[in-house]
Amino acid sequence: MKLTVTGSIAFDYLMHFPGKLADALKEEKLESVSISFLGQAMTKHRGGTAGNIAYTVGLLGGFPKLMATAGEDFGDFRRWLEEAGVDTSATLTIEDEYTSSFFANADLDENQITSFYA
């Protein structure tokens, strides 16, 4: 059986802030917010719905074909998928663009400030 997986490919950047994000948010200043947080740690993960599903099916011996788009920074991600048995020949790499990315900064209470680059 042939299986084609479509959907998103993304990098997830997860950061940890060793304080409370709410301490930086002042109700009287919410009309003009400009806040910077110094992260204590950061990790980068390969992700996206299609990337995760294709990788898992590849590990299970299913040899899926991944049909998606990615940016010029996809090279290592592509090799990692192919080593797991994923056919990436239907994945389009767009030069001068970055792969979709998710950025999350979580505090001690697991509150988050996040951004997504599509």
Q: Where are the domains of the chain?
A: 4-17+40-117
- In the prediction, which pLDDT does 80 show? 98
Question: CA-CA distance, 65 to 58, in Å (whole number)?
Answer: 9
Helix ranges, 1-118 (H): 49-59, 75-83
- In the prediction, which pLDDT does 47 show? 94
φ/ψ bin of 96: left (φ > 0), alpha (ψ from -120 to 50), beta (otherwise): left
Tell me what percent of the chain is helix, strand and coil, each rounded to the nearest 5: 25, 35, 45
4-17+40-117 has which CATH code? 3.40.1190.30
pLDDT in tens, the chain (118 residues): 789 999 999 999 999 999 998 888 878 877 887 888 888 899 999 999 999 999 999 999 999 999 999 999 999 999 999 999 999 999 999 999 999 999 999 999 999 999 999 9
pTM over 0.95: no
- In the prediction, which pLDDT does 115 show? 95
Report whether 11 contacts 100 (CB < 8 A): yes
